[in-house]
């Protein structure tokens, strides 16, 4: 204990305990303040604190209004509570240390949190709430001063001062509770806590629960004090009764009921719910990309012991001095030594080393007392397959979420969570600054290791490192970063007269022996299982193992390659004998894709499609949507022997391990696979990604094929009657909904960056009262690919049509439609009026009205490049003509029915010819089928069992509609709209512009 604290204890013991709560409060302040703050702690009076707050308000009003607002709230509390000591002075002689220490504590709290805007707002809101509850001390003081002018203090006044001390003690306790949130292990330092002398509660409660109790106590305090001073002459019995009642109310709040097991479970559930709410606020609707690499850790356990024994790593790991955890000056001086950069080339196995570090740090760090919990560990892998993870803010979000989960039972963390849940004027979703403010508090509370793998994939690595430096300068966090050598480290990481930044370069010499041993064991096991036949010469196995040169990725890829079922035992032996020809990742990738080229056509098509979807999607597909998107390419029913029920399960097998499937989704086994396919060396392969326009052309074709053949050609949701809109729609001005960001794109532009597109968020369908009771699930529950296909096919097509310097509109190809795979599917889509209508309905249900204005021009330019004598040219001219007609109809919809369709998307099936010439088909809800003339269609009425099947499997049931190619639509008149349950009146039928002669999912046209 410091000499200052010893002096305080001596002074308190000599002063006696006439007012024990005042004395305990002052001692508690001295004992709970950190030594770093105690050296500069000073007594402050209310007037000087108010002046400082007002000056900061004036200064921050022009610089940052968000900081000025909480300063006003804190100033309000100071102004309200300052006369408390004047009222107390009427009862007894106020010692200078009472107001001096209290306002010094408030001033210290202000200095600690005013730079953390997120928590400053919350704490100031609590002080504002207390200010609204506290008694009007100034008014009470003025009245009492007039009544008691010249009176002498007696014993009754001494007891009155004792009753006044409860409010002082409670406010000091709250300030210390808030103070302890922002620093580490103050509770375990051996100092006394601030407790009332009669406290009997043994169960800890979160801050919001304690603050609610404080509000009740302050309310009783105000009620008692106002009645105590309401009259100069009062009955003694009444006064005594009120005082006893006030004391009983304090005892009730301080006491705790006997907590049963069920009650404790409910309390724990509420605490965890608080953490979940904050986690939802942090995640901001972005799906976390955490995966469990436990299988990979088990497989390679012990193979990274060489790294764990490196001197630099051990020195970094054990650089923890508990006494410096809250020392700002020391943290500022030595933060460079707590950041370690580990760099190696692609394929080295940095992720495996990072996983080994996570396991190593999970154990208790060296030189730590056994009574202390080991430091927490947070790990994040930056993956290009998860677009959100490449943003610096997402890295900090994920680290914050992990630390919240790790410390969800910590009292200090739960108190911080309670502060965050207070409702103030800040945004409902966490900003990047909010995340850093919260992460700073969590790192101050707990010793932490942070592991970041793959930093070179971050789109702003310098921005991430700059924000990380600010955190390291204020906390004792220890960070290890795995990356390629090419990353740029900011100059602030350099330190004079030291070797900072601390970099550990890794090369094949570090891992050659461990990788050779690992490969030899795996190849020997495969030989025992008969992968290489019965005449295998095992003497070549060590030679093959040495070819890895310590590169983990090469070894893994080769092992997956020789296990491919596409290879015969003789071919596997040949690969091992010629392993020297496969040295390097590029040579190995070339051999693998050469093998894939010889596979059956349907497997090659599936491999090419999954590679395209993983490389150039508008936004990343979930597993169910990806499964549906892949099934568009091939008819799985024709290949029962090849494809299992779960389509995604075969991807690792048919790609020789280049694609991996895990709980987190489908991804490349390593980013270098994508890099190889985008390099010129991959030209000639069906899976090549050199031509980005061609990739988008194929993806557009997949989306259009899905819309033309695989969605119900009927209303997607329940029909609702037409209601006249309350407001007239605007004219031809382009409409943008407020939720268009949810759709996955802001506009149909080929120049939009892939990473600039927001991740779509599924929203529930808006239905009125007539349909809400019928439909209790979203309309696209069984159509996971509908959202992406409906909203993103124009983006893919516009990017496919964008000419570049190296790629004109047309690339000579031997077969029809191979360079333009979207023409057949676009023709099939436009020729199906029902499919077009379903697409329009889906677009409005996803809050993004359809528009094709940016596609007409590029397609018209492409038409000029193709001769009408060719199959592509003739088909394209029909497509452009039909696209012009559809574009005009969509503009008419926007001008006349945009508001109605936004509120009721099913109206598109009831509009009929109200928008002109009966373009849109009418769905007759009374018979649950499209209304068409009997001369041009063989109608089949749906019976009750068929209706049930339609809800279960709408795609299968739709085959009951036997449409004639020359389909004629029956539509209502232009004067009125048919209600949903009324049979439309017959009008002259309108022939569709052109029938389709394409087979469903024609492989030669879509491949």
Q: Picking from 62-66, 579-583, 903-907, which range would have the lowest pLDDT averaged per residue?
A: 62-66
First to last CA, the chain: 78
Per residue in 81-97, pLDDT (tens digit) is 999 999 998 888 899 99
Q: 712 and 837 in contact (C-beta within 8 Å)?
A: no
Residue 893 has pLDDT above 50, yes or no: yes
User: Would you state the pLDDT for residue 299?
Assistant: 57
User: Would you state the pLDDT for residue 131?
Assistant: 96
Per residue in 838-890, pLDDT (tens digit) is 999 999 999 999 989 889 889 988 888 888 888 888 999 999 999 999 999 99
Per residue in 787-811, pLDDT (tens digit) is 999 999 999 999 999 876 554 444 4
Residue 376's H or E segment, with its range, is: strand 376-381
Q: Picking from 11-20, 24-33, 463-472, which range would have the lowest pLDDT averaged per residue?
A: 11-20
Residue 68 has pLDDT above 90, yes or no: no
- Stretch 576-581: mean pLDDT: 88
Q: 341 and 312 in contact (C-beta within 8 Å)?
A: no
Predicted TM-score (pTM) of the model is 0.76
Per residue in 168-223, pLDDT (tens digit) is 999 999 999 999 999 987 444 444 443 433 344 557 889 999 999 999 999 999 99
Residue 153 dihedral angles phi and psi, to the nearest 5°? -75, 135
894-909 burial: b if 16+ Cβ within 10 Å, else e: beebbbbbbebbbbbb
User: Would you state the pLDDT for residue 254?
Assistant: 67
The tokens describing 563, both together, are: 């296990």
SS3 state of residue 915: helix
- Stretch 12-38: mean pLDDT: 78
Q: 38 and 4 in contact (C-beta within 8 Å)?
A: yes
Nearest to 47 by CA among 8, 98, 90, 103: 103
707-734 burial: b if 16+ Cβ within 10 Å, else e: bbbbbbbbbbbbbbbbeeeeeebeeeee
Residue 191 dihedral angles phi and psi, to the nearest 5°? -85, 160
Q: 133 and 219 in contact (C-beta within 8 Å)?
A: yes
- Stretch 701-725: mean pLDDT: 83
Q: 20 and 76 in contact (C-beta within 8 Å)?
A: no
Report for 309-313, 505-509, 734-738, 899-903: range of highest mean pLDDT? 309-313
Q: How far apart (Å, rounded) are the C-alpha atoms in residues 156 and 891? A: 85
| CA dihedral sign, ordered 36, 38, 40, 41 | positive
Report for 61-65, 67-71, 966-970: range of highest mean pLDDT? 67-71
Token pair 């009929």: residue: 912
CATH code, 273-504: 3.40.50
Beta strands 968-969; 990-991: pairing state: antiparallel
Nearest to 676 by CA among 768, 739, 588, 556: 588
Is residue 158 very low, low, confident or very high in pLDDT (cuts 50, 70, 90)?
confident
Token pair 């949507």: residue: 625
Q: Which is more confidently placed, 988 or 901?
A: 901
* HEC profile of 231-248: CCCCCHHHHHHHHHHHHH
Q: How far apart (Å, rounded) are the C-alpha atoms in residues 829 and 260? A: 65
Residue 471 Cα distances to 178, 321, 328, 343, 1007, angstroms:
21, 17, 12, 22, 51
The angle subtended at Cα 618 by Cα 433 and Cα 809, nearest 5°, is 135
Give the residue extent of every domain in the chain.
3-8+18-187, 273-504, 697-1003
Residue 846 Cα distances to 619, 712, 721, 838, 842, angstroms:
15, 17, 20, 12, 6
Q: Which is more confidently placed, 324 or 805?
A: 324
Is residue 917 very low, low, confident or very high in pLDDT (cuts 50, 70, 90)?
low
Nearest to 23 by CA among 34, 35, 39, 12: 12
In a 13 Å sphere around the CA of 317, the CA atoms on its Cβ side amount to 21
The tokens describing 435, both together, are: 């995340």
Q: Picking from 491-495, 734-738, 866-870, which range would have the lowest pLDDT averaged per residue?
A: 734-738
Query: What residues have CB less than 8 Å from 823, skipping those under 6 apart?
Result: 817, 872, 875, 876, 879
Q: How far apart (Å, rounded) are the C-alpha atoms in residues 618 and 934? A: 43
SS3 state of residue 377: strand
SS3 state of residue 558: helix
SS3 state of residue 484: coil
Burial of 342: CB neighbours in 10 Å, binned 0-12, 13-18, 19+: buried
Per residue in 240-286, pLDDT (tens digit) is 888 888 888 888 876 655 566 677 788 888 888 999 999 999 987 66
Report for 35-44, 115-124, 384-393, 912-921: range of highest mean pLDDT? 115-124
In a 13 Å sphere around the CA of 487, the CA atoms on its Cβ side amount to 28
pLDDT, mean over the chain: 78
* HEC profile of 803-840: CCCCCCCCCCCCCCCCCCCHHHHHHHHHHCHHHHHHHH
User: Would you state the pLDDT for residue 759?
Assistant: 40
Q: How far apart (Å, rounded) are the C-alpha atoms in residues 664 and 614? A: 13
Query: What residues have CB less than 8 Å from 244, skipping those under 6 apart?
Result: none
Nearest to 892 by CA among 850, 932, 857: 850
User: Would you state the pLDDT for residue 713?
Assistant: 87
């Amino acid at each position: 204990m410091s000499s200052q604290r010893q002096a305080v204890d001596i002074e308190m013991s000599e002063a006696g305990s006439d007012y024990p709560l005042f004395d305990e409060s002052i001692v508690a302040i001295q004992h709970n303040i950190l030594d770093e703050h105690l050296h500069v702690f000073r007594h402050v009076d209310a007037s000087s604190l108010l002046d400082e707050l007002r000056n900061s308000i004036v200064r921050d009003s022009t610089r940052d209004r968000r900081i000025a607002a909480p300063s006003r709230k804190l100033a309000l509390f100071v102004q309200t509570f300052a006369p408390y000591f004047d009222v107390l002075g009427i009862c007894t002689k106020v010692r200078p240390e009472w107001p001096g220490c209290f306002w010094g504590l408030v001033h210290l709290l202000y200095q600690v949190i005013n730079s953390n805007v997120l928590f400053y707002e919350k704490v100031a809101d609590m002080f504002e709430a207390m200010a609204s509850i506290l008694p009007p001390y100034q008014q009470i003081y003025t009245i009492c001063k007039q009544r008691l002018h010249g009176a002498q203090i007696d014993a009754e006044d001494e007891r009155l001062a004792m009753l006044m001390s409860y409010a002082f003690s409670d406010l000091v306790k709250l300030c210390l509770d808030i103070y302890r949130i922002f620093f580490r292990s103050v509770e375990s330092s051996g100092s006394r806590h601030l407790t009332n002398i009669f406290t009997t509660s043994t169960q800890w409660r979160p801050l919001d629960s304690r603050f609610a109790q404080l509000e009740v106590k302050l309310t009783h305090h105000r009620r008692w004090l106002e009645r105590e001073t309401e009259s100069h002459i009062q009955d003694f019995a009444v006064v005594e009764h009120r005082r006893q009642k006030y004391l009983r109310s304090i005892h009730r709040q301080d006491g705790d009921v006997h907590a049963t097991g069920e009650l404790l479970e409910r309390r724990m559930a509420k605490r965890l719910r608080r953490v979940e709410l904050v986690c939802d606020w942090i995640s901001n609707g972005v799906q976390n990309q955490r995966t469990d690499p436990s299988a990979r850790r088990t497989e390679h356990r012990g193979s990274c012991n060489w790294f764990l024994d490196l001197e630099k790593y051990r020195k970094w790991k054990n650089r923890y001095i508990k006494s410096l955890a809250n020392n700002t000056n020391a943290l500022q001086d030595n933060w460079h030594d707590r950041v370690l950069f580990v760099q190696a080339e692609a394929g080295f196995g940095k992720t495996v080393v990072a996983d080994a570090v996570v396991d190593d740090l999970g154990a208790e760090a060296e030189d730590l007392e056994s009574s202390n919990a080991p430091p927490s560990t947070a790990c994040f892998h930056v993956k290009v397959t998860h677009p959100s993870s490449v943003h610096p803010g997402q890295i900090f979000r994920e680290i914050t979420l992990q630390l919240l989960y790790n410390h969800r039972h910590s009292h200090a963390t739960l108190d911080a969570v309670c502060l965050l849940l207070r409702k103030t004027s800040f945004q409902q979703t966490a900003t990047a600054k909010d995340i850093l403010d919260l992460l700073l508090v969590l790192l101050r509370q707990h010793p932490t290791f942070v592991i970041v793998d793959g930093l070179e994939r971050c789109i702003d690595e310098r921005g991430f490192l700059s924000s990380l430096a600010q955190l390291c300068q204020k906390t004792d966090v220890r960070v290890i970063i795995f990356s390629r050598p090419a990353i740029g480290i900011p100059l602030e990481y350099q330190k004079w007269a030291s070797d900072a930044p601390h970099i550990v370069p890794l090369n094949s010499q570090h891992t050659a022996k461990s990788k050779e041993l690992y490969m030899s064991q795996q190849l020997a096991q495969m030989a025992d299982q008969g992968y290489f036949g019965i005449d295998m010469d095992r003497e070549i196995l060590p030679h093959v193992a040495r070819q890895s040169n310590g590169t983990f990725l090469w070894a893994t890829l080769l092992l997956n390659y020789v296990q491919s079922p596409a290879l015969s035992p003789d071919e596997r032996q040949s690969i091992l004998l010629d392993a020297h020809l496969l040295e390097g990742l590029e040579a190995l990738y070339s051999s693998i894709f050469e093998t894939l080229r010889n596979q059956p056509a349907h497997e090659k098509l599936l491999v090419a499609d999954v590679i395209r979807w993983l490389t150039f999607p508008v936004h990343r597909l979930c597993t169910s949507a990806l499964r549906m998107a892949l099934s568009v390419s091939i008819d799985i029913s024709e290949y029962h022997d090849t494809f299992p029920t779960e389509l995604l399960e075969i991807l690792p097998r048919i790609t020789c391990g280049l694609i991996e499937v895990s709980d987190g989704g489908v991804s490349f086994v390593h980013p270098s696979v994508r890099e190889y396919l985008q390099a010129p060396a991959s030209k000639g392969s069906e899976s090549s990604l050199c031509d980005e326009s061609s990739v988008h052309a194929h993806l557009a074709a997949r989306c259009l094929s899905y819309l033309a053949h695989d969605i119900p050609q009927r209303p997607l949701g329940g029909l609702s009657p037409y209601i006249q809109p309350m407001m007239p729609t605007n004219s031809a001005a382009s409409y943008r909904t407020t939720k268009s960001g949810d759709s996955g794109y802001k506009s149909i532009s080929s120049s939009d960056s892939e990473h600039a597109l927001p991740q779509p968020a599924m929203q529930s369908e808006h239905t009125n009262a007539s349909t809400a009771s019928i439909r209790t699930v979203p309309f696209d529950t069984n159509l996971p690919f509908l959202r992406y296909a409906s909203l993103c096919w124009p983006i893919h097509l516009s990017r496919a049509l964008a000419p570049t310097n190296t790629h004109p509109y047309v690339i000579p190809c031997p077969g029809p439609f191979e360079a333009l795979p979207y023409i057949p599917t676009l023709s099939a889509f436009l020729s199906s009026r029902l499919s077009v209508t379903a697409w329009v309905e889906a677009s409005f249900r996803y809050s993004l009205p359809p528009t094709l204005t940016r596609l007409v021009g590029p397609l018209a330019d492409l038409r000029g490049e193709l001769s009408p004598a060719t199959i592509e040219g003739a088909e394209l001219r029909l497509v452009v003509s039909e696209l012009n007609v559809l574009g005009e109809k969509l503009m008419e919809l926007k001008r006349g029915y945009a508001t109605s369709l936004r509120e009721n998307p099913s109206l598109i099936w009831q509009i009929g010819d109200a928008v002109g010439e009966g373009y849109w088909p009418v769905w007759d809800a009374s018979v649950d089928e499209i209304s068409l003339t009997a001369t041009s269609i063989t109608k089949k009425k749906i019976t009750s069992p068929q209706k049930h099947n339609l809800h279960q499997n709408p795609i299968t049931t739709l085959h009951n509609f036997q449409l004639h190619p020359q389909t004629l639509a029956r539509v209502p008149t232009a004067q009125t709209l048919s209600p949903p349950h009324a049979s439309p009146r017959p009008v002259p039928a309108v022939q569709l512009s052109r029938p389709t002669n394409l087979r469903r999912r024609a492989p030669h046209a879509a491949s």
